[in-house]
Structure 1
């Protein structure tokens, strides 16, 4: 995949891309940071392919795991203080970090764009109403080059042809994986499944 260079017009965030990259570098482990850069490149490739706003996609991709390595106690406090869905508290930080990351980016960096915030919020479990930017981040996070889980190659092939079918396939694979492992399933993930798999 050819590397895509981005220069922000600062339509959505007061930070330049370089400043946002530096912020993410400081906010997470090196391993997580490299993952974020790969997701951004994958997302930009898809955005270019499907003619979706590349600056929005870049911001969302770079910020999608902003809260991933925050302490559980900090995330729990934010879920309560920001009046997020309290039923999240019955689940782990893998569910929390998307919504919490969106809140942090809004509060700390005045990120107001609804599509970018939705993409950060829903990148792990999706949502029934994901717009194109959110779909791109959901897919890019799943198929970035270092991912090697079952089904990823099929998802990569699908992503070249049809974004909606890729979202549907990824959602099906994710639910199948959770059921097989007998994991507790967050109800919003079931809503995503019903919207993107059953209805498509």
Structure 2
């Protein structure tokens, strides 16, 4: 799953950054530095509300939300009560970061929804992707070894922390766990309470028990 197969880059401020790479997880190491470079170049509609934290004037941020530096919050995005943006988060336009949601080292394309009790770490979520309530990205293996992407061919990433890559228009069902190194192709659906690992092809449905079928 290469970047060109996963994402419409016209729906993120990270277009130029992501275009440098072949695989999306190759971008994880540089997200912090990219945000620090991008922030000062943003239009005057973005306000630096604290050091290295830029929020668009049309965004809504609840008073109990925490915005850790560096981060960028895009137009018309809603950051709800008790959201915890730890650091290194580029959140696009028209997104929802919900109550008790935690983000860390992520790129959220435009129209991404993480509305309820989600943990999203070391991950990239594509245009119009959606994390159901309680669904999370698990970004470190239990044995602490480096993450391998398991698919038609296994790819060693060299990364200790790597959550999930969600293509455009991916729907993740409630209370699902995306294991380290999960890559979900565009227009795919994950059933609720699923445990997902490896590469899920585009236009697929992951059903109960891990059964994968093509969408009709």
**TM-score, normalised by the number of residues in structure 1:** 0.29
Structure with greater contact order relative to length (CA < 8 Å, sep ≥ 6): 1
Greater share of strand = 2
**TM-score, normalised by the number of residues in structure 2:** 0.28
